[in-house]
Structure 1
Amino acid sequence: MFFKEDLELNQLNLMVSVEQPNKIKKYRDIFEENKNDQIDAFYIADYFRIQRQVNSIIKEEEYLALQHLTRTRYQLIKQLVRTKQHFIENIYYKCNTLSKELKAEGGSVLSATLVTLMTEDYTMDQLAELSLEEFANLIQKLGKYRFKNPEGIAKAISKAIRSSYRLGKVHQDSVDIVLGVLAKEIRSLEKLIKDLDKAIDDLVVVLPEYQCLTSIPGIGPVYATGILAEIGPINRFSDESKLAKYAGLYWRQNQSGNSEYENTPMAKRGNRYLRYYLVEATNSVRRYEPEYHAYYKKKYAETPKHKHKRAIVLTARKFTRLVDTLLRNHQLYMPPRSVIDK
């Protein structure tokens, strides 16, 4: 984008092209030459002289800005998941049966109330000494009176405290410090993600394609903005097969003579962020759309192993065609006529 908008380069009437570095490297490796900056520059130029590259349309500023936000959000979500996993691991040291007892009551150790209980100035012994009514009232107060069954939660926590082993004071203090640090990190990450969501919402309103994707049942703001940010203007791709290849959702033919191999692994090249959003969005859409649910079940039954992984990526390949059609025609999603008739 910077090269495309450079005033001095524009005066030379140059064309800006984006190419994968590994393709140029493979072309460079064909020739047994020394490696230095001058020779490398020659073969980069030589690669473009043979015109094997595709002169793609550069993304507009709005798409690049959206991509910056969505990729940062993606990384923060991964960091939040890791932090929560670490928090659960340390909860086990403090009260090793808590997760099991809460699960039976439909609760979670990651709820804001439980995080506060485990990290504020409450020892396990103090909580165990509370009566059921006092404990339930404390839980309701911390949960801002949103619990439907605070007595059940209080009973589950009390049971977990009684049945859990106790650590020594020194070890317990270290666990409490770690839990406090992790709780602060969880709250901080959740706030940062909310800030990013607001920034994404403010930016995405200028992109008309956003409504096209959110019209698909099962596609919400996260998947729609993620897909849009990675694809950019749909006219960068001549057809849906190029879009699928860009996402890495394609399978190379493996044929020699009269033999054609049926076991062809997915390429997994291209844009891993777009592939992630397409696959996750497909997994959501198949729960709402009978057409995609039926296709998924068909592919699921075709093989004895890797059933879900194979079925979901094949369904994602089908979903890519839908995304391409809606974006290219600037239209909202309409379910198949057979579904409407029902």
Structure 2
Amino acid sequence: MKLFVGIDVSSQELEACFMNSDGDKLETLTVKNNLEGASYLRDRIVAAADKHVSSEIHIGLEATSVYSWHPAMYMHQDAALQKRKAKVFTINPKLVSKFREAYSDLDKTDRLDAWVIADRLRFGRLTTTVVMQEQYVALQRLTRMRFHLIHNLTREKQYFLQNLFYKCNAFTTEVESSVFGHALMEMLSEKYSLDDIATMEVADLADYLRDKGRNRFPDPENVARCIQKAARASYRLGKVVEDSIDLVLGTSIQAIRSIQSQLKDLDKAIERILDGIPGAKCLRSIPGIDRVYAAGILAEIGDIDRFGDQAAVAKYAGLTWRRHQSGPFEAEDTKRIKSGNRFLRYYLVEAANSVKNRDEEFGAYYRKKYKEVPKHQHKRALVLTARKLVRLVDVLLRNGQLYTPRRKVTPAKD
């Protein structure tokens, strides 16, 4: 007999329900969501397993943000539970919610939620256990923070450009160089007025750009002329508004540089952990997958043996399309599932976008999919390319091998 333990998790409590293979409720209890409470729950699970001579223990928790992480890790790592063949699952709340709909007469309480989770465990077909090894967990914390900072940086840059339009509305149309380069950011942070920039000698402005840009401008005089042209073509602000905009731009520049500095620190930490993970070399052998993409993918997948096959990895990432068939009819236009790990999906899609530009096979596949439809070509082709990349990632990680592009064979001449 298997013992199924459903646990409804909140920030304060763990509500547990024990169930046997026949669906009979054996026991319920509530403990605090802390080390002491989890230890007591562990003891009760072990006692129940021994009492009913359980061959396996399946423990399920809803993936409730950070609240389920500690008890799930604790149950997974506990020696007494491991000895009794315990498996721990974190279940997507949507999966539990859909399963609950089959019981239309149930109330909504924590105790009943635990019962529903236990019953869902009893039905099986849960492909992924929860816990990854420690280095993957550490890497995941870093890559998810990097994901968070990248999105913050994008929003901050967009906000900066909005305020730059107030100060110099012609800047982005007249100046081809990136406004986020060091030299231009320095110029904007020093609160030059448009009249100051417009009346400055071109040679002096070029020298300023050359100095602040560390001689990286191929033609600083041309950039200086473009900046002056933009300054002359832009609307003028009143003194009060101009001072406010200068302060906002300066604050935004500080925020952008702070995030960029934090990203550098994170990248160093990611590199240190990545060096100790064997699968990193496999993924980085794929053209276009650098440190960041390899780390993001590995951090979310963890040990590839957690998944039965490449299809399970794709489903976990949300790169699966529902089949719609009825009788002789089968729909060609199907929708991608909305569930899945958004972080893994993000890194796979971003990696696919890079790989298609560097690998001939993936590039040809992307172009083929791009031409198949008249609308949303890039988005569709890129997601399908990411799905193809999943198969390659799965093979490389399972076999521990490096990527070898397919070689074209030229037929022999008669």
Task: Tell me whether the two structures share a fold, i.e. TM-score over 0.5.
Answer: yes
Query: Deviation per CA, 1:106-143, whole angstroms, max 9, x where unpaired?
Result: x1211111111112142222222221111211221222
Picking from 49, 53, 57, the partner of 2:126 is 53
Aligned to 2:256: 186
Matches within 5 A, 1:87-166: 87-103=160-176, 107-166=177-236
Work out the CA distance in 1 between the residues paired with 2:192 and 2:304.
Answer: 56
> 1:1-342 maps to which residues of 2 (within 5 A)?
1-6=73-78, 9-10=81-82, 14-31=86-103, 32-54=105-127, 56=129, 58-103=131-176, 107-338=177-408
CA shift digits 1:192-228 (9 cap, x unpaired):
0000000001111100110101111111111111111
Q: Cα distance, 1:60 vs. partner? A: 0.5
Structure 1 or 2: more helix by fraction: 1
Q: Root-mean-square deviation (CA), in Å?
A: 1.8
SS at match of 2:91: coil
Is contact 2:371-2:377 (8 Å) kept? Answer: yes
1 CA distance for matches of 2:306 and 2:94? 21
Q: Unpaired runs of 5+ in structure 2?
A: 1-72
Same amino acid, percent of matched pairs? 49
Structure having the larger proportion of residues in strand? 2
- Matched residues in 2 for 1:272 and 1:323: separation? 17
What's the CA shift for 1:187?
0.6
- Residues 285-305 of structure 1, C-alpha deviation per residue, up to 9 Å, x if partnerless? 111111111111221222222
Q: Secondary structure at the match of 2:319?
A: coil
Normalising by structure 2, what TM-score?
0.78
TM-score by structure 1 length? 0.94
**Cα displacement string for residues 259-304 of structure 1 (whole angstroms, at most 9, x for unaligned residues):** 1111111113211111111111111111111111111122122222
With over 3 angstroms needed to count, the CA separation of the structure-2 counterparts of 1:328 and 1:250, relative to structure 1, is same
Q: Give the whole-Å Cα distance in 2 for the aligned partners of 1:46 and 1:274.
A: 29
Query: What is the total number of aligned residue pairs between the two structures?
Result: 338
8 Å contact from structure 1 (residues 16, 55) kept in 2: no
Moved more, 2-11 or 27-36: 2-11
**What's the CA shift for 1:325?**
0.5
- Cα distance in 2 for residues equivalent to 1:88 and 1:44: 48
Cα separation, 2, equivalents of 1:296 and 1:55: 30
The range that moved more, 322-331 or 46-55, is 46-55
Where 1:16 maps in the other structure, the secondary structure is strand
The code of the aligned residue for 2:254 comes to K
**Is the radius of gyration larger for structure 1 or structure 2?**
2
The alignment partner of 1:79 has SS state of helix
- What whole-Å deviation, never above 9, does each CA across 1:10-37 have from its counterpart, x for those lacking one? 5665332222222122222321122222
Distance 1:5 1:340, change over 3 A: farther
Alpha-carbon shift at residue 49 of structure 1 (Å): 2.5
8 Å CA contact 2:87, 2:129 repeated in 1: no
Structure 1 unaligned regions, length at least 5: none
> Partner of 2:316: helix, strand, or coil?
helix
Q: Output the CA distance in 2 between the equivalents of 1:94 and 1:61.
A: 50
- Residue 408 of structure 2 aligns to a residue in which SS? helix
